[in-house]
Amino acid sequence: MFMFSRSICCAKLNQLSAFETLFSNLKLRPYATPLIGPLQTCESRIYSREKAEYANVNWDELGFALTKTDYMYVMNFTEEEQKFFNGTLTRFGNIEMCPSSGILNYGQGLFEGLKAYRKEDEGILLFRPQENALRMKIGADRMCMPSPTVDQFIDAVKKTVLANKRWVPPYGRGSLYVRPLLMGTGRNLGVKPSSGYTFLVYASPVGNYHKGDLNLMVEDNVHRAIPGGTGGIKAVTNYSPVYKPLTEAKANGFSDLLFLDASTGSNIEEGSACNIFILKGNVISTPTTHGTILPGITRKSIMEIASDFGYQVEERAIPIKEVFDAEEVFCTGTAMVVKSVASITYQGKRIEYKLGAETLSQKLHATLTGIQTGLIEDKLGWTMLID
């Protein structure tokens, strides 16, 4: 019996060695490095991890909607303590709040969005959580709010994900969307900063944000943001003002809106919840984040990847007329990831763009998601293994 098992093991090891030889002879881009290293590393990844437990979810039917998970994380700030402290995990559920709280009366609140991804070996990765923590701090300063430290933010996210790890979808079948909230929850009647704050993190498994083709309509009557406003941060008040035109656009068969700048009405800015890029030749252009456009973390990552691919990446004002000369258009965001735009309609004129496996956006999507899920080696330190 021992000799029989040994011969099977040797055969398997020889197969693995053959795969190593095959991959070592391939010429790959730096971002396309397969994660097959020394044989011992491969063996430990295959045999050392216990099989993950999963929630009873039809992972193949996931959309972008709330699925109730097990736990959320809550941490409070008070005027007496002057800091966030004693964060705890609690069962996911409703929260109690004073009717005069700052978030309810004056919209004093921020949120973030990031994802946890399952690797092939069932480990769990976060993607650039420190960037979300830093962006929340910038937003909190603009909204006259205290914020958790970067370490507190990341610790809260990690604890929330690990407490809900059975809800992290299997590799390649979705992700766990993590939503940190910072809210003014102290009692307040007058127009002034809240007297108390709550930092809360919850999570939900999600699939694709947009299913099907992405068809945009240019909105030239309603503006998402104005100079000097809060368009450059994730203030909760940035989103509901666009519900009306967005609902009307969807009723007319469009997927989303593309907003123009409020100053001139002639330059593109972003979608309702995504950044936008255009491709012409070897040049990729995206609108400058000058206070009215959210500096997306996916946007930032795609710019770095595209630059390493050899493209010239520009941040600049982009007149709407240039969109109609573009070879390819795509959108980015935590929820959307990277998605090709099928068409843009402006004042009755519709232009269609290239779609399919050969588009740049598909190559960028494959590279980014490969890094996020551990399929492609992360040489930039973007991912954080938490389980």
Is the pLDDT at 31 greater than 80? The verdict is: no
pLDDT at 100: 97
3-state DSSP assignment of residue 382: coil
Q: What is the mean pLDDT of residues 343-370?
A: 96
pLDDT digits (tens, 9 = 90+) for 321-332: 999 999 999 999
pLDDT digits (tens, 9 = 90+) for 201-254: 999 999 988 889 999 999 999 999 999 999 999 999 999 999 999 999 999 999
Active site residue 234: yes
> Measured between alpha carbons, how far is 268 from 270 in angstroms, rounded to an integer?
6
| Helix 2-24 vs helix 39-47: crossing angle, to nearest 10 | 120
Residues β-bridged to residue 110: 182, 235
pLDDT at 25: 40
pLDDT at 45: 43
- Amino acid identity of residue 139, one-letter, is G
Q: What is the pTM of this model?
A: 0.86
Domain boundaries along the sequence of the chain? 71-206, 214-370
How many beta carbons lie within 10 A of that of residue 29, not counting itself?
13
- The residue from 234, 250, 300, 379 that is catalytic is 234
pLDDT digits (tens, 9 = 90+) for 262-321: 999 999 999 999 999 999 999 999 999 999 999 999 999 999 999 999 999 999 999 999
104: enclosing H helix or E strand: helix 102-106
Q: What is the mean pLDDT of residues 341-362?
A: 96
Tell the residue number behind the tokens 């099907």, with chain if given.
212
Q: Which CATH number fits domain 71-206: 3.40.190.290, 3.30.565.10, 3.30.470.10, 3.20.20.210?
A: 3.30.470.10
pLDDT digits (tens, 9 = 90+) for 165-175: 999 999 999 99
Tell the residue number behind the tokens 């993607």, with chain if given.
127
Is the pLDDT at 24 greater than 90? The verdict is: no
CATH topology of domain 214-370: D-amino Acid Aminotransferase; Chain A, domain 2 (3.20.10)
